[in-house]
Structure 1
Amino acid sequence: MPESARALSTLPVIDYADRFGLAAGVDAGPERWARAMFGDVPSPGERFIWRGLLGLRLARGRSPDTVAGWRVAGRGEDWIVLEAESWFLSGNLVVQVADGRVALSTFLRYERRLGAVVWPPLSAVHRRLVPGVLRGAAARIGAGH
């Protein structure tokens, strides 16, 4: 995990971290990548996982200050940080672009013991899904969406 991604996290303590990257092949900024990955509002599947299983409090509706209900915690030329919390965990999604690559880092902090129980089995699903999320975003951006 590059320190540059970890340094962008808004979490004071990180209990879980992962990073997935893709040779982009398309030129787009980090917010465009984030919106191509997750949309302006969460999909039904994302709502089920994020709200239903993880209890994340997501914003409703479209806004320049949110991506799929996650609050934009910070933006830079080559990065964007999204954040959301539930009563038992807090999370960041960090999208970075550089040198023709895009990377998505996930950081979680377990606020209660339940986070350490719920996330590990879900993390296996997360790690299987993220490469496809990156490839799908690249296809959408490449197609001009």
Structure 2
Amino acid sequence: MTVGGTASTVGTERVPASVRTLSSLSRIDYADHFVLTTDVAATAERWARVMFGDTPDAIELFLWRGLLGLRLSRTASANTVAGWQTGEQGVEWIRLEAASWFLAANLVVQASGDSVALGTFLRYDRWLARLVWPPLSVLHRRLVPGVLRTAASRIAAGEVRSGVSTR
């Protein structure tokens, strides 16, 4: 398994337009995009399921449901990843969607022959989002490279964090 460095882009206008167009949000107030170079091959859905699982773990529940108030599915299904609804997917990407009373979010996982990427997009629907997300985004940006590297190791080792079969 070869895993290279992680490159990141932060800022709505700095994330490539080709990536931003995968978001379903009517307006993007926050965007970031992390790319890990790797020769580990898997579908975008498998990457997403290995990164996040079928149901959120305790830390994800605290961050996503507790701090961000995201309405996540409580049961595993083929249409959810860690409680996030599968919005749409293409040959090399999948979009996960969730919302709360004060923001809407998309996670976009892209997988190609030589890399995996995770993009995060948020729309602030209420003033609270502008207060809550900026400090959380610092933690988010520190965690994402490790999430990508850990997923690459798990996929290379044949580990599965999910119980729902992937397509």
Same-fold status (TM-score > 0.5): yes
Structure 2 residue aligned with 1:94 = 108
Structure 1 residue aligned with 2:50 = 36
Q: Distance in 2 between matches of 1:82 and 1:41?
A: 13
Match 2:150 to one of 114, 123, 136: 136
Match 2:99 to one of 60, 80, 85: 85
What displacement does 1:87 show? Answer: 0.2
Residue 131 of structure 2 aligns with an amino acid whose one-letter code is: V
Larger relative helix fraction: 1
Structure 2 residue aligned with 1:9 = 23
What displacement does 1:128 show? Answer: 0.3
Residue 135 of structure 1 aligns with an amino acid whose one-letter code is: R
Q: Distance in 2 between matches of 1:75 and 1:63?
A: 16
State, as a whole percentage, how many aligned pairs show the same letter.
62
Give TM-score scaled by structure 1 length.
Answer: 0.98
User: Where does the alignment leave 5 or more consecutive residues of structure 2 unmatched?
Assistant: 1-14, 160-167
Structure 2 residue aligned with 1:56 = 70
Moved over 2 A (4+): none
Match 1:65 to one of 69, 73, 79: 79
Give TM-score scaled by structure 2 length.
Answer: 0.85
What displacement does 1:24 show? Answer: 2.1
Structure 2 residue aligned with 1:74 = 88
Residue 138 of structure 1 aligns with an amino acid whose one-letter code is: A
Q: Distance in 2 between matches of 1:61 and 1:138?
A: 25
Residue 14 of structure 1 aligns with an amino acid whose one-letter code is: I
What displacement does 1:61 show? Answer: 1.3
2:105·2:121 contact (CA, 8 Å) conserved in 1?
Answer: yes
What displacement does 1:25 show? Answer: 1.8
Structure 1 residue aligned with 2:117 = 103
What displacement does 1:99 show? Answer: 3.5
User: Where does the alignment leave 5 or more consecutive residues of structure 1 unmatched?
Assistant: none
Structure 1 residue aligned with 2:129 = 115
Question: In structure 2, the residue corresponding to 1:8 is in which secondary structure?
Answer: coil
| Count of residues in correspondence between the two structures | 145
Q: Deviations over 1:97-132 (max 9, x none)?
A: 123100000000000000000000000000000000
Query: CA RMSD for the aligned pairs?
Result: 0.7
Question: In structure 1, the residue corresponding to 2:27 is in which secondary structure?
Answer: coil
